[in-house]
Amino acid sequence: MLSFAVTHTDGAARRGILTLPHGRVDTPQFMPVGTAGSVRAIAPDDLERVGAQMVLGNTYHLLLRPGPELVAEMGGLHRFMSWPRPILTDSGGFQVYSLAEQRKISEEGALFRSHLDGSQHLLTPERAVEVQQKLGPDILMCFDECPPANASRAEHEEAVARTTRWAMRCHAEWKKDPKGSLFGIVQGGLQRDLRERHAAEIAALEFEGNALGGFSVGEHPEQMWDGVAHAGPLLPRGKPRYLMGVGTPEDLLRCVLNGIDLFDCVLPTRVARNGLLFTRQGRLQIKAARYAKDQRPADAECRCYTCTTFTRAYLRHLFNAQELLAFRLNSLHNLAFYMDLMTGMRAAIETGTAQTYADAALEAFRRGPD
């Protein structure tokens, strides 16, 4: 169901081809987040237009509504959301971190109180696999415990041990009807020895791919980059490596250099809805008064629909007037920027210039737009 080949390397950076039931994914690759079966403000043809090859859906949110049974009845998530390319579903493990005040963890699983209506839902490793298989993704994730960065060492040790036990239960449940490719998740926070131990435990379970969880959960960016530089190469070399929930353009560039193949994050679309545009010259706050009469595109080097059609002045007007079109155009541009960033990184790895490409992009990004 899954094949993965590394075609080029440049230091620790890898250029690869991931083949899944719904198509090919060129790595390194960024996955737009479609939490509830939709990338916010973006239609599937928009995703195709910006070059997205794979999207992410979230088990917790789709469990609450419309429910996995309904999605399965509608032909699975691909057909339900009219997205023909690969889909990866998160197991709901991130909600163990983000909904800390609304859940209780036990060996059995995580008992959540819905943020929608207060109803209780028990998400066990077995249930997480069952729900994901009903959704029908190409890749599904093990259920894990994700503690915050500032958790104590004892809490991280407990999370590592429980995540391994849960991974074994996920694997056993998946083997009953092995639909989709199951990935394991490595925890351990910023504790290097815990990362090493857990990477070995998860690798021994022989999942078809592996992920790093527990980054970008409150630590400083430099700490995260250092942690990924250590933990990335611990994951099996011949299988896809996925860094969950990360991140900024700087994060992507630095972590590709340390061997990461797949990324996801809500950031590019979330900040787009708040008027922040990523450009090759840095972050552009489109609501700023200085753009009121600016006839330039947001990014002169960008070939997306937003930049080839509209001026900064118009984008500023839309955002300040809170026109819904602002959300779509800003999101289109930010996703196109991320896709172009990864396209450039893949080409640089092929020519052995990954570090040079990343350094130039980071330097231009630091200068900021005029």
Digit-coded pLDDT (tens) for 75-99: 999 999 999 999 999 998 888 788 8
How far is residue 195 from each of residues 113, 145, 171, 176, 214, measured CA to CA in Å?
A: 30, 14, 20, 29, 10
Q: Which residue range is the domain that position 182 belongs to?
A: 3-265
- Same structural domain, 235 and 355: no
311 CB-near residues (< 8 Å, 6+ apart): 294, 295, 296, 297
Supply φ then ψ for residue 108, to 5 degrees. Answer: -65, -40
- Same structural domain, 241 and 347: no
- Same structural domain, 284 and 321: yes
Assign 256 a pLDDT band (cuts: 50, 70, 90).
very high
pLDDT for position 149: 93
**In whole angstroms, what is the distance from residue 62 CA to residue 12 CA?**
36
pLDDT for position 367: 85
Of 233, 265, 297, the residue at which a domain comes to its end is 265
Of 265, 295, 319, the residue at which a domain comes to its end is 265
At 213, which CATH number? 3.20.20.105
- Same structural domain, 241 and 343: no
Q: Which two tokens mark 63?
A: 């469990």
Please answer whether residues 133 and 69 qualify as being in contact, where contact means their C-beta atoms are separated by less than 8 angstroms. Answer: no
**In whole angstroms, what is the distance from residue 45 CA to residue 48 CA?**
5
- Same structural domain, 283 and 324: yes
Of 265, 288, 315, the residue at which a domain comes to its end is 265
- Same structural domain, 165 and 279: no
Q: Which two tokens mark 251?
A: 């994060």
Neighbours of 289 (CB within 10 A): 8
- Same structural domain, 147 and 280: no
Type and span of the H or E element at 104:
strand 103-105
- Same structural domain, 226 and 328: no
How far is residue 344 from each of residues 182, 192, 252, 341, measured CA to CA in Å?
A: 29, 31, 12, 5
Please answer whether residues 53 and 86 qualify as being in contact, where contact means their C-beta atoms are separated by less than 8 angstroms. Answer: yes
pLDDT for position 195: 98
Looking only at the bridges linking them, the beta strands covering 262-265 and 29-32 are: parallel
**In whole angstroms, what is the distance from residue 212 CA to residue 247 CA?**
13
Q: DSSP state, 289?
A: G
Supply φ then ψ for residue 70, to 5 degrees. Answer: -65, -45
- Same structural domain, 258 and 293: no
- Same structural domain, 350 and 246: no
- Give the residue numbers annotated as catalytic, written as ranges: 90, 264
Q: pLDDT tens digits, residue range 168-198? A: 999 999 999 999 999 999 999 999 999 999 9
Place of tokens 């060492």: 153
312-329: average pLDDT: 98
Burial class for 222, CB neighbours closer than 10 Å (0-12, 13-18, 19+): exposed
Question: Positive or negative CA dihedral for 44, 46, 48, 51?
Answer: negative
**In whole angstroms, what is the distance from residue 311 CA to residue 299 CA?**
10
Neighbours of 298 (CB within 10 A): 26
pTM more than 0.75: yes
Q: How many domains does the chain have?
A: 2
pLDDT for position 200: 98
229-235: average pLDDT: 97
- Same structural domain, 97 and 240: yes
- Same structural domain, 291 and 144: no
Alpha helix positions (H), the chain: 44-50, 59-64, 68-73, 77-81, 93-98, 125-135, 153-176, 192-204, 221-231, 249-256, 267-272, 305-309, 312-320, 324-350, 354-367
